[in-house]
Amino acid sequence: MSETSIVAIIVAVLALLGGGGFWGYRQFAKEAPVRKRDADIAVAEKSQQMALAVADDLREDYTRLRTDLNAEREERQKLTGRVDSLETHIREQDKTIRRLRDAVRLFTAAWDDLTSRWQHYRQSEHPPPRPNITID
Amino acid sequence: MPTHVFQPSRNPPRWWDRLLVHPLDMTVAVVAVIFGLLVIASLFIPEFIPSKSMDKMPDPVIILVSGFLGTGGFLSLVGLNWWGDKVSHGWSIEQFGWWLAAGGFATYAISVAWHYPGSAFSWGVPLSLGLGSVIRAVSIIMIEQSVRRTLAEVEDHKHE
């Protein structure tokens, strides 16, 4: 590329940007001037809008958290119900196991009695009495 | 995002506050002014060569490029530190300054790239500064439009 074409490019770029800048300057001048106080008001308004946007975001967060909390509370209540019914179930099973142990103890005693008094029972007319056990 | 912009507590702000809010804009504008002045000075002092690629260019081009950079940087600084009541005047001057500085940086980059194409950093930096200047000019136009729009909204609220 020759020096003439580079110079032409440089002049064209300068003319374009300089001309564009001056045109922008004229466009600005056509509008009514903005005073410092008004510009400060505009900035304050923007800050207020931003603060409101932040507050809105926080409110959305809060609503979402409240919904989540309610859902969690419902789940917890359901779980409490299940735990209560399980507790009752376990208590009943404990009772059954206790009764079964008692029964086993009675049967063992009856068996021991049968073993120790075998001679007597063998010669007796009647069988030994049935241990008194009731299991529901 | 406002958390990344220094918020001056004084109104009107002092020069130090302005520098803290616009450190890079101020630096680029000052660089443009210094560059413009140095290249203009080289026209009067033949043995002083601040830029080898500019030195190889014809005088009118040197005057144009340094004139754009110097004037652009100066106008950007004036607009950026506008002290008057009409802030829109500051915006218009600053955006004009950034377009001029962008032209100066871009053409300087073209000149360096033509003379020393292998020295990518030497022409890449001014080209980037030119792009940055264009973005700043566009952002000022957007600031101006946003303020006018907000003011119109505030006016509408008052009349409601």
Q: Which residues contact B11 (CB under 8 A, 6 or more apart)?
A: A40
Inter-chain touch B147–A11, beta carbons under 8 Å: no
For chain B, the domains span 2-159
- Mean local confidence (pLDDT), B84-88: 86
User: In Å, how far is B107's CA from the nearest CA of chain A?
Assistant: 5
Q: Is pLDDT at A73 greater than 80 in this prediction?
A: yes
Mutate one of B108, B151, B155 to test the A interface: name it (highest A CB count within 10 A).
B151
Nearest Cβ partner of A10 from B61, B97, B150? B61
Note whether ipTM > 0.85 here.
Answer: no
Tokens 């509408």 label which residue? B156
Judge if the upstream peptide bond of residue B12 is cis by omega within 30 degrees of 0. yes
* Alpha-carbon gap, residue A33 to B148, rounded angstroms: 10
Q: A29-38, B71-80, B102-111: which range is least confident on average?
A: A29-38
What tokens were used for A108?
């063992």
Residue of B nearest to A3 (CA): B57
Residue A34, C-beta contacts closer than 8 angstroms, at least 6 positions apart: B86, B87, B88, B91, B144, B147, B148, B151
Question: What whole-number distance in Å separates Cα of residue A6 and Cα of residue A13?
Answer: 10
Of B61, B85, B150, the CB nearest to A46: B150
Q: What is the pLDDT of residue A28?
A: 84
Which of A114, A132, A113, A112 is closest to A122 using CA atoms? Answer: A114
How far is residue B77's CA from residue B94's CA, in Å, rounded to a whole number? 7
pLDDT band of residue B98 (cuts 50, 70, 90) is very high
Give me chain A's average pLDDT, please: 90
What's the residue count for chain B?
A: 160
Residue for token pair 């509008």: A31
Number of inter-chain CB pairs under 8 A, A vs B: 109
Write the pLDDT tens digit of every residue in A38-48: 888 888 888 88
Evaluate whether B65 touches B104 at the Cβ level (below 8 Å). Answer: yes
